[in-house]
Amino acid sequence: MTGRPDDEGRRAELVTALGAVRTRIAEACAAAARDPKEITLIAITKTFPASDVAALARIGVTDVGENRDQEAAPKVAATAALLGDAARPRWHFVGRLQSRKCRSVAGYATAVHAVDRPELATKLAAGVAASARAPVEAFVQVSLDGDPQRGGVVADRVCEVAAAVAACPELRLRGVMTVLPLDADPDVGFGRLAEVSDALRAEHPGATAISAGMSGDLEAAVRHGSTHVRVGTALLGRRAQVLG
């Protein structure tokens, strides 16, 4: 699949792919004795055009994710123009968040999955206040191996970042998120994230969400309690090179 305009062929591709992903989620939930309604599917649309986002919205995808503000901000506007009065998706920011981008991201994101230091919480909250909008959901990004290239905070500092988020009325602490190291065993990694989530809930009972799992490992993530899976390739195909 490619990022073609929203014609009938592309719509048919997306319908087929969405059905396959939802089947995988349902089967993973059945194996884990969970309700599929507990799982939020986030379509990761980075590098794909606004026409694809609009097409996904029209076939029932309510949540989409982006990881770069310079791509996301104009795509949000373009998608709104394409959908008009139709229901628009909730936007999730899932990439590493730079301090200087907090104000922009706070203007359109319903949820930010990559808060990994207290100062980001403060700047994001200021951006929400400036936009005069409802509180933004925030996930604390957890680093499972301490690699600074992927971002995230090590497990023993998660509660420190979470406290900074919880102190901001403009933010709503949802839970934890991680990006697995490339060579990680998904069951080991997601199992560790579940332990971090349990520890966080001991201090913040409402922080029950876990953002984990992508196209290749969503089953393992669901098995270990993920509530938000971030799916790109399995839903939209190989990354497109141009935007529409």
Q: pLDDT, tens digit, for every residue of 175-197?
A: 999 999 988 999 999 999 999 99
pLDDT at 109: 98
- How confident is residue 241, by pLDDT bands cut at 50, 70 and 90? low
Q: Is the pLDDT of residue 2 over 80?
A: no
pLDDT at 125: 98
Q: Is the pLDDT of residue 65 over 90?
A: yes
Q: Is the pLDDT of residue 1 over 60?
A: no
CA distance 111 to 95: 12
Beta strands 63-66 and 90-93, pairing class? parallel
- The reported pTM is 0.94
pLDDT at 25: 98
Q: Which two tokens stand for residue 76?
A: 């949000």
With a pLDDT cut of 90, the percent of the chain lying above it is 89
| 12 three-state secondary structure | helix
pLDDT at 99: 95
Q: pLDDT, tens digit, for every residue of 68-96?
A: 999 999 999 999 999 998 899 999 999 99
pLDDT at 27: 98
- How confident is residue 43, by pLDDT bands cut at 50, 70 and 90? very high
pLDDT at 242: 43
- How confident is residue 240, by pLDDT bands cut at 50, 70 and 90? low
| 179 three-state secondary structure | coil
Q: pLDDT, tens digit, for every residue of 5-23?
A: 448 899 999 999 999 999 9
List the domain boundaries for the chain: 8-236
pLDDT at 232: 97
For domain 8-236, the CATH architecture is: Alpha-Beta Barrel (3.20)
The neighbouring-strand residues paired with 64 are 43, 91
pLDDT at 7: 84
H, E, C per residue of 193-230: HHHHHHHHHHHCCCCCEEECCCCCCHHHHHHCCCCEEE
Number of H helices, E strands in the chain: 9, 9
Q: pLDDT, tens digit, for every residue of 107-147?
A: 999 999 999 999 999 999 999 999 999 999 999 999 998 87
Q: What is the mean pLDDT of the chain?
A: 94
pLDDT at 243: 45
The neighbouring-strand residues paired with 40 are 228
The arithmetic mean of pLDDT across residues 154-166, rounded, is 97
CA distance 103 to 172: 17
